[in-house]
Amino acid sequence: MSGSAERRTFSDTLAGYVTYYSPTQHRFGLRTSDDREFTVHLPRNVSSRIVRNLGDDYRDTTANTLDMLAEGRYLFAYGITYQWEGGERFEAKEITFPEESRGSYVFEHPAWWVQQAAAVADFYLRGHFPDGTYDWRNFRTNLTLSGTHLPDFDGADVRQETDTISRLVYGLSTAYLLTGEDRFLEAAESGTEYLREHMRVTDAQDGIIYWYHGIDVTRTGQRKVFASEFGDDFDAIPMYEQIYALAGPTQTYRITGDPRILNDIDGTVALFERYFRDRHLGGFFSHLDPITLDPNADSLGRNRSRKNWNSVGDHAPAYLINAYLATGREDFAALLEETADTIVERFPDEETSPFVQERFHADWSPDRTWGWQQDRAVVGHNLKIAWNLTRIKALHDKSEYGVTADRIGEIMPAVGSDQLRGGWYDVVERRPDPDSGIHRMVWHDRKAWWQQEQAILAYLILAGTSGDPEQLRLAREAASFYNAFFLDYEDGGVYFNVLANGIPYLLGTERLKGSHAMAGYHALELCYLSAVYTGLLISNDPLTLHFRPRPCDLPERVLRVAPDLLPAGSVELTRVWVDGVPYHRFDNKELTVQLPEGDMPVRVRVELEPAQMRLRMRTEFDGDTAHIRCDGIIDAAELEKFRRILGEVMAAQPQRVEFHLCQVTEMCRPAINELLFQRTKAGLDADFVIVGCTLPDVADALLATDAFLLEGGDECAHE
């Protein structure tokens, strides 16, 4: 064989942690997630950047690349591998840092996911409603890469799919919860009304509500599409379509408390109970015959007498948890418990596969021959189970929920993630290849946006409820991959799929950002719950949420503001504003607000905090004066938060900074040094003032510099 035949070059991405840096040899070591060691060579033209958010400017760090290669730092290195007989060399061309400094991941800043949510929601508003009127008659299921309607679907004859609209409504409502921006709620409410008017059917005789697959909008009117027309579900009523028809309206209900929406939820659940439920063997059937509403009809073909993940597990994340959060109703809680019990009992299949079993016959025997799925696993469904069992455990504290979730979290990385490049795969064979031991990819090794979401949320909530550093590592790695490669800075929104190395895949339907599968639902669910889990369970930052109910619509005028199903007692409601005015009639433990009487919508803004928050910092501006109020401990663990908030205040260039430190019980020397450092940076014209009392050693250290003023005024005492 010739020498050239032994040579090979290819580009790829490596993800891992820096183990060493050699400035003389221009290389560094990289340890991947599964502990493989690589040597990364640095050519002179290597460039680097920090992961940026949607709406942010490019953050070039090329000039500082070598200084940033600190041991333990996580990064992505994209480059070229050169192979020849007896040798191999990987040269990095681009390095992407998810951390601004070691341990300081950009997406753990309290504003990160809120900013991303607003950007993604605005992308869909611009795409579907460029004139800003939110007229849902103009909605189109498909949206191009750049956020415009496809020409083929821009004429008078178009199909509008119920689930796609509902998922977008969910995303818009979620964006309002995080931002309080009126445009998102206005669009969500008008979308909910459109669904109710055009897609909903009320069967008063049976006491049920069901939803059309969609409607065709024509020059002369509308044509209702009753049964599904997708290949997997053709001429049937699939349960997942009915489930996801509730996703958007239910999230809107959390904000507005509109009793008509709750009636729709109850009517649709009645449909589930009356026709989809298997009253003999438990669970819910996946499909109904559209004429007889019989799950056992011969006309259903391969969907006859079947159950699957969607018909059992999708209740929880799509609508049921949110319906419970908004109402606190016991029937919703009971259905959540039943759902979790069924998953724990029926889905794990570790004797034959590390992946759960997803499809069943009526008697719960596995169906491993159905359609495209055969004996294959959807990686994201496994992660979704771990995520939702952990949520439901906060409501029904059953040990088996935690055991199952933890076990899935433990075994999934080795079989479902890319431990060389980062990210999570799509569909794989449930059983390993006998020759290699690898769970082979079914169609490709691409990575879908929604699978990354499931990984991020699963490991965030597992880490947040257990404190396990390994689960936190996995959450951070998943969030790093998503934020590094899925955000489209040019056209907006997020990509559907990327190649294994992180480069966007832009062919066929995967080029679209609006489709039957993609409508802002997963991307905005990720923003919302990442903000919840990161702030309230991991980084100990407050979370602000927004609601706009009519008090008279809520039973006893009680607004429930729990952000998600979180461990009992882990979160407190600390501040409330009604129509911009501080409001004090709330239960900080039950996370409820007793609203004033009235029949007009009110704006309710709430602030939630971790119950065991070690350091609370609140800032406010009074003209050119900044007030910084600290409560708790400022030690090494809280130093990064202290520095971040102080830096944000100083960026506004106040002329006077007042520090209220009377509630600080401990302050480490580096925190004192940070104050001194910022004082120097502020210049001679700015005053740094300690208001009231503070710890003697802190006061002595600051006053000794002659850079701080001490003023009385606060009545406080330290034990």
559-576: per-residue pLDDT in tens? 999 999 999 999 999 999
- Tell me the pLDDT of the chain averaged across its residues: 94
Predicted confidence (pLDDT) per residue in 100-146, tens digit: 999 899 999 999 999 999 999 999 999 999 999 999 998 988 999 99
Predicted confidence (pLDDT) per residue in 373-396, tens digit: 999 999 999 999 999 999 999 999
pLDDT at 231 over 70: yes
Predicted confidence (pLDDT) per residue in 326-359, tens digit: 999 999 999 999 999 999 999 999 999 999 999 9
- Token couple for 45: 């033209």
pLDDT at 213 over 90: yes
Return the pLDDT at 716: 57
Residue 582 pairs in a beta bridge with: 577
Residue type, 204: A
Q: Categorize the per-residue pLDDT at 683 as very low, low, confident or very high, splitting at 50, 70 and 90.
A: confident
pLDDT at 715 over 70: no
pLDDT at 173 over 70: yes
Residue 76 pairs in a beta bridge with: 15, 96
E strand or H helix at 665: strand 656-667
- Residue 512 contacts residue 152 (beta carbons within 8 Å): no
Q: Categorize the per-residue pLDDT at 718 as very low, low, confident or very high, splitting at 50, 70 and 90.
A: very low
Q: Categorize the per-residue pLDDT at 719 as very low, low, confident or very high, splitting at 50, 70 and 90.
A: very low
Predicted confidence (pLDDT) per residue in 606-646, tens digit: 999 999 999 999 999 998 999 999 999 999 989 999 999 99
Percent of the chain whose pLDDT exceeds 70? 97
- Residue 688 contacts residue 682 (beta carbons within 8 Å): yes
What phi, psi does 261 have (nearest 5°)? -65, -40
Q: How many CB atoms lie within 10 A of CB 52?
A: 16
Percent of the chain whose pLDDT exceeds 90? 85
Sign of CA dihedral 97, 99, 105, 106: negative
- Token couple for 415: 């079989």
pLDDT at 3 over 80: no
pTM: 0.96
Q: Categorize the per-residue pLDDT at 156 as very low, low, confident or very high, splitting at 50, 70 and 90.
A: low
User: What crossing angle do the helices spanning 162-179 and 521-533 adopt, rounded to 10°?
Assistant: 30
Return the pLDDT at 713: 52
Return the pLDDT at 462: 98
Q: How many CB atoms lie within 10 A of CB 110?
A: 17
Predicted confidence (pLDDT) per residue in 304-314, tens digit: 999 999 999 99
Predicted confidence (pLDDT) per residue in 460-494, tens digit: 999 999 999 999 999 999 999 999 999 999 999 99
What whole-number distance in Å separates Cα of residue 135 and Cα of residue 478?
A: 37
pLDDT at 317 over 90: yes
- The residue that leads in pLDDT, 482 or 681, is 482
What is the DSSP code (8-state) at residue 574? E
Q: What is the mean pLDDT of residues 644-661?
A: 91
Residue type, 559: L
Q: Categorize the per-residue pLDDT at 155 as very low, low, confident or very high, splitting at 50, 70 and 90.
A: low
The residue to which tokens 């649709």 are assigned: 268
What phi, psi does 627 have (nearest 5°)? -110, 125
What whole-number distance in Å separates Cα of residue 100 and Cα of residue 107?
A: 10
Residue 424 pairs in a beta bridge with: 417
pLDDT at 714 over 60: no
User: What crossing angle do the helices spanning 112-128 and 182-198 adopt, rounded to 10°?
Assistant: 50
Question: Can you list the alpha helix ranges (DSSP code H) found in 347-378?
Answer: none
Return the pLDDT at 95: 98
- Residue 390 contacts residue 401 (beta carbons within 8 Å): yes
pLDDT at 217 over 90: no
pLDDT at 90 over 70: yes
Q: Categorize the per-residue pLDDT at 1 as very low, low, confident or very high, splitting at 50, 70 and 90.
A: very low
